[in-house]
Amino acid sequence: MAIEPVVYGASDRPPRGDYARAGADYTCTQDYAAYTAQDHDTYARLFRRQAALLPGLACDEFIAALPALGQRPEDVDRIPRFDEVNERLLRATGWQLVTVPGLIPEVPFFTLLSERRFPVTDWIRRPDEFDYIVEPDVFHDLFGHVPLLFNPVFADYVQRYGQGGLKAHALGACEQLSRLYWYTIEFGLIRQHGGLRAYGAGILSSSGELRHAVQSPEPQRLPLQLERTMRTRYKIDSYQSTYFEIDSFQQLFDLTEADFSPLYERLRGLPELAADQVEHPAALAA
């Protein structure tokens, strides 16, 4: 399961990537020649297994954009060249992928997003990590995140998140804002076809969590509400206990449009909630 600490959760192990390759903005070039036949095979097997799981569980926009990663999902046999994806992505929404050695610090991460540049790790997990990896690799970053960057509204939301991140950093509110990233961009659910679908990359790139998030009676699912979401801690090493639902990407965009400064102020006086804190029905009605 590809649960990842994104840019925030401090890991107790040093990151795997070779950061000596990276420039001051943490970007480097995709080392395509370094991929082995086994690397391409790992990617292709992950891709084909995951693509087969999507119908009925992934949102329409994600499924529609998947071929833009380069090959028909059932024919995928290699890791894509980021340059090729970039030609299509630039035409669709003006976004670009940039290569990074792995997780990067908050400020460079927010800066890249604010410039419509999405950081993608280039290395791939080892075969013995097929079902679970603690850091994001090229499969999580590319398969999980990139298809929705072809959607204009979602693409704008991610840029605005980057701009908001730089502001949150200045206000000492990165942890609060990171929860919004976690519960939307990584683990968000959207209502479609009278049911639920996944749009979060952490769900979409995980074979186990996809069904858990969308169909299991176990987790709590709440309407996305900024204050509730930003108070809620999250789990980085197991399936989520709580998911937040939206009606549309436009709703997500509109909900996050206002200046968050007063919200950050209010959050300082409110206790955090555990990841599995069950919502009292009275509180929901209030």
Active site residues: 140, 145, 186, 205
What's the min distance (Å) between Cβ of 244 and ligand PHE?
A: 14
Looking at beta carbons, which residue is closest to ligand PHE? 164
The residue (of 98 and 174) whose beta carbon lies closer to ligand PHE is 174
The residue (of 31 and 254) whose beta carbon lies closer to ligand PHE is 254
201 lines the binding site for Fe ion (CB under 5 A): yes
What's the min distance (Å) between Cβ of 181 and Fe ion?
A: 9
From Fe ion, ligand PHE, none, interface partner of 207 (C-beta below 5 to 8 A by class):
none
**Residue 205 burial (CB < 10 Å; 0-12/13-18/19+)?**
buried
The residue (of 174 and 201) whose beta carbon lies closer to Fe ion is 201
The residue (of 28 and 246) whose beta carbon lies closer to ligand PHE is 246
Residue in 44, 64, 57 with CA at minimum distance from that of residue 207: 57
Exactly one of 10, 259, 271, 282 binds ligand PHE (CB under 6 A); that residue is 259
Distance CA 115, CA 63 (A): 26
**Residue 136 burial (CB < 10 Å; 0-12/13-18/19+)?**
buried
Q: In Å, how far are 193, 232, 277 from 190, measured between CA atoms?
A: 10, 19, 21
Distance CA 233, CA 216 (A): 21
Contact (Cβ atoms closer than 8 angstroms) between residue 50 and residue 204: yes
From Fe ion, ligand PHE, none, interface partner of 164 (C-beta below 5 to 8 A by class):
ligand PHE
Residue in 10, 223, 205 with CA at minimum distance from that of residue 106: 10
Distance CA 217, CA 39 (A): 36
Binding mask 232-251 for ligand PHE (x = CB under 6 A): --------------------
Contact (Cβ atoms closer than 8 angstroms) between residue 179 and residue 230: yes
Binding mask 139-178 for ligand PHE (x = CB under 6 A): ------------------x--xx--x--x-----------
Interface positions with ligand PHE (CB under 6 A): 157, 160-161, 164, 167, 180, 256-260
Interface positions with Fe ion (CB under 5 A): 201
